[in-house]
């Protein structure tokens, strides 16, 4: 069982990642705005399946990694920090685009919506960074099974991400209308996203290896 402080710290980091738009959230927002809330929630089902796939693959992979190459932590966290800084720049660079800006998308069937949600998550580098760079920092072999801890942390991440994305899918249309009427808030939203991502990058880069 993970230490309570490690679990809470990871939950905060996972929450911060869930609140920063990436490929998953952008796809869900676009679907909800263009095709309605039901389409967004169906797409979210595919995203959820992708999380489960990542959780099991990463749990077994992290177990092998910790046993074989403990010093790989440093390479993972610095690589993850660089990627988060890249996402932060994408959010605040001149000409950047808010995920809540309306996009025109064709109407898709429920099966395609679910499949695209799954594929989008599998190809989402932000989730790969979270599982390969962030999660290992919170695992303490002295607290018991590395595999068990990985699964618990993964379950926490999935619950938080699904909860946040469910709310986003249900309210995307209303948020898009609000932001369209107040362009200044589009800029504020982008800079808030960039600030959170940069903060996570600094935390990851300065976090001592456990």
d(CA 121, CA 104): 21
Which of the pair, 198 or 69, is modelled with greater confidence?
198
Q: What is the pLDDT of residues 100-109, one digit of tens each?
A: 555 566 778 9
pLDDT of 78 higher than 60:
yes
Q: What is the pLDDT of residues 83-120, one digit of tens each?
A: 667 767 766 777 665 555 555 667 789 999 999 889 88
What does the DSSP assignment read for 103-157?
Answer: -------HHHHHHHHHHHHHT-HHHHHIIIIIGGGG--GGGS-HHHHHHHHHHHH
* Nearest by Cα to 73 from 35, 9, 81, 193: 81
Task: Give the per-residue pLDDT at 69.
Answer: 60
Task: Give the per-residue pLDDT at 114.
Answer: 94
- pTM of the shown model: 0.68
Percent of the chain with pLDDT over 70: 73
Task: Give the per-residue pLDDT at 210.
Answer: 47
The helix/strand/coil state of 78 is: helix
Q: What is the pLDDT of residues 135-151, one digit of tens each?
A: 777 887 777 787 888 88
């Amino acid at each position: 069982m993970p230490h309570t402080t490690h679990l809470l710290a990871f939950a905060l980091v996972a929450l911060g990642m869930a609140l920063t738009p990436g490929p998953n959230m952008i796809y869900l927002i676009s679907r909800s705005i263009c095709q309605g809330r039901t389409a967004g929630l169906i797409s979210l089902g595919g995203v959820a399946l992708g999380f489960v796939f990542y959780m099991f693959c990463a749990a077994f992979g992290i177990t092998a990694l910790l046993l074989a190459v403990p010093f790989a932590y440093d390479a993972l966290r610095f690589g993850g920090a660089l990627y988060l800084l890249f996402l932060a720049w994408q959010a605040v660079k001149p000409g950047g685009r808010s995920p809540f800006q309306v996009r025109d998308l064709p109407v898709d069937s429920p099966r395609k919506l679910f499949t695209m949600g799954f594929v989008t998550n599998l190809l989402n580098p932000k989730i790969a960074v979270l599982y390969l760079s962030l999660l290992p920092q919170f695992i303490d072999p002295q607290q018991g099974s590395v595999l068990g801890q990985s699964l618990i942390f993964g379950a926490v991440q999935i619950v938080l991400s699904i909860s946040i994305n469910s709310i986003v899918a249900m309210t995307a249309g209303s948020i898009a209308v609000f932001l369209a009427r107040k362009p200044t808030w589009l800029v504020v939203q982008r800079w808030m996203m960039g600030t959170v991502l940069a903060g996570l990058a600094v935390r990851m880069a300065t976090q001592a290896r456990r």
